[in-house]
Structure 1
Amino acid sequence: MPRGASMPVLRAEQVRYRRFRPAVRAARARARDVACRWGLDELADDLESVIGELVTNAVVHGRAARGSRVAVTYYLINEGLRVEVRDWASGTPRVGQPTGPGDGIPESGRGLAMVRALSRRWGVTPRVIGKTVWCEMGVKRS
């Protein structure tokens, strides 16, 4: 069971991507696919957005060895879905102060705030090399 998960894992799937920008599009598509295959259609849009942000952070920020990978792991838990994005890059992500076109610099700093808003809870687990950024998304049970 992933560290910090509150319920037993019912199903798991991991995908590894090369650490380059086209991986973001592939990861977003896979996130939507996982949500639909696991019967979590109501999470598909939010999951796609969250994975897009987390994989973008893993690919764009931090320094990692050439050819390193980003691993995305999905866990189906009783309360919904837990996702982990693991990279082997330096740096610790933090919710930043948003910047935008009015500041004269490119827009940034909104990604983790969005992850926080779309998730029930989220966090960062430091590793000896790199880190894992994780979040849990709940589903409405009838």
Structure 2
Amino acid sequence: MRGAADRYSHPEIFGRLGEENARTELARELQQLEGDPLVTLTDAPYVAANLVRKNGTNRFILHLVNYDKPLRNVRVRLDLTGFSKKIDRKKIHCLSPDLEASIPVQATAKGSLLEFTLPSLEVYNVVVIN
């Protein structure tokens, strides 16, 4: 936020928010400051994602809640840069009350970037990594 504070003074930007180009400029600046998202979902506009790290471990738990109709083939991208140097793609499992048992997740990993596709997301899935 320091960068935005240096660029915009309170009256300057808020006095211009009625102008579309000022809103676009502010949104672009804020997006640059926040960086890339940790979790990116494709074709899942009504899915909430929450990624947590188990204290003292390299284990991550991704909670996915679907507020829309059941989905198929949900693509997930996790950017764990700065949080994990290595991801064991063989230790990724999906659990859900909608599934009879946990299922292994086939993923590709490049350093701290992880990508996988969940075959289905009814209401709630948990993906355990490492």
Give TM-score scaled by structure 2 length. 0.34
Per residue, is there more strand in 1 or in 2?
2
Per residue, is there more helix in 1 or in 2?
1
Question: Which of structures 1 and 2 has the bigger CA Rg?
Answer: 2
